[in-house]
Amino acid sequence: MIRLIVLGQWGLAAALVKSSEAVLGPQAGLYPLDFVQGDTADSFIRELTLLAANSLESLILTDSPDSLISRLAKETASGPVVTGLSLPMLVAVCQRRSQDADLAALAGLAISSGQQAIRLL
């Protein structure tokens, strides 16, 4: 199963993972990593490298395309990094991941489900 690494700032990643698990139940291979006060770029890269280590493919979902953590993820990751993280995106990717989707398909789903969730009510 493809590993999902959720990156955010100030608790966003942990909150979105917790919310997605409230909807779907516990998810194996789903890891939040938040950049919080006291973190440095080097410490964040070390934690991200540990999460992404070994032979499993990883998809990284992150909040803003212009944030430091997105830039660090792009420089560090060997797999795709998708920005614009939202709960609908995360839930859709978790659901599809359990159906043996490949990495490219999951990255595409993350983008399309994130876009489709944006609406003017």
Average pLDDT of span 8-26: 97
- Three-class SS state of 37: coil
Nearest to 2 by CA among 106, 108, 74, 91: 106
- Give residues with Cβ within 8 angstroms of 97, minimum separation 6: 1, 2, 4, 29, 106
Buried b / exposed e along 63-94 (16+ C-beta atoms within 10 A): beeebebbebbeeebebbbbbbbbbebbbbbb
Model confidence band, residue 54 (pLDDT cutoffs 50, 70, 90): confident
**Domains in the chain, ordered, with CATH?**
3-116 (3.40.50.510)
Say how far apart CA 91 and CA 52 lie, in whole Å.
20
- pTM (two decimals): 0.93
Supply the mean pLDDT for the chain.
93
Model confidence band, residue 55 (pLDDT cutoffs 50, 70, 90): low
Q: How many CA atoms lie within 13 A of 11 on its CB side?
A: 2
CB-based contact 113:88 (threshold 8 Å): yes
Per-residue model confidence as pLDDT tens digits over 63-101: 989 999 999 999 988 889 999 999 999 999 999 987 877
